[in-house]
Amino acid sequence: MASAARRLDLIDTTPAFAPEDAAVLEARFAGVETGEMLDVLFAERPFESIALVSSFGAESAVLLHLIAQRDRNVPLIFVNTQKMFGETLAYRDALAEQLGFTDLRVYRPDPYLLAQKDATQLRWSYDPDGCCDLRKVEPLRRALAPFDAWFSGRKGFQGTTRAALPRFEEDEGRLKVNPLADWDKAQLDAYFAAHKLPRHPLEAQGYPSIGCAPCTSVVQPGEDPRAGRWRGWDKTECGIHDPVF
Ligand code: SF4
């Protein structure tokens, strides 16, 4: 783990975490309530530096609130693919301000790579994997370079590709923490209500999962919550996360 490993920064990208480290943490916190687990993590800090990555999607407010209650100075990373809904950008600004985050970091695709690989801005329509690599994966990799750990808001119930989601994962040598891995929709809704958190404005319009505008469509009753993402394509994740079956 970080205490026994070299620190990650822009120069030294030696992996600090191994899958075994994630497994140890998974076992240690089995059955421990999420808030209590976060309290221990922030107290013991089994990492050198951690960031919170948020898409400011439909349920993002829950994890943002859980973290803000413990440390508002945690770097908050948002990747603006430049294909986002305007509503998401407005929600991001309002929510980050409301929760008091002090270090919102917005990353965008590399302009040189965009010119090389998506000059028409239409790559999403014929090569969504390539578009996600360019607009999401590469900027996030840049954003995470100084950190050896990050919080992700993924939930196991969100779809069959996330069903077996653990709370702790190793990802490119970093510790990826999924505090909401075992939360269901009812828990999330109860948390929203208890803390009077604002909803993403598109949720009420039939979008239970919200990504980029060209690749997000309305979900019908009974469909998988992520069914509206890349509809018609054999694609379930943007490349930031691997499917966890
Ligand atoms: S979700 Fe769509 S528009 Fe956004 S980066 Fe991926 S393919 Fe491109």
Q: Which residue intervals of the chain are DSSP H helices?
A: 19-28, 34-44, 60-68, 86-99, 111-117, 123-126, 128-132, 138-144, 185-194
Alpha-carbon distances, residue 114 vs 128, 131, 237 (angstroms): 14, 9, 21
Distance 161 CA to ligand 1 centre (A): 18
Q: What is the pTM of this model?
A: 0.88
Residue type, 7: R
Name 76's bridge partners.
52, 104
In the 8-state DSSP scheme, what is residue 8?
P
Distance 122 CA to ligand 1 centre (A): 10
- Ligand 1 and 132: CB distance under 6 A: yes
Ligand 1 pocket test, pick from 110, 131, 209 with the greatest ligand atom count within 8 Å of Cβ, gives 131
pLDDT in tens, 14-48: 568 999 999 999 999 999 999 999 999 999 999 99
Q: Check whether 64 has a pLDDT greater than 80.
A: yes
**Rounded-to-integer distance, Cα 151 and Cα 53, Å:** 6
Tell me, what's the pLDDT at 4? 39
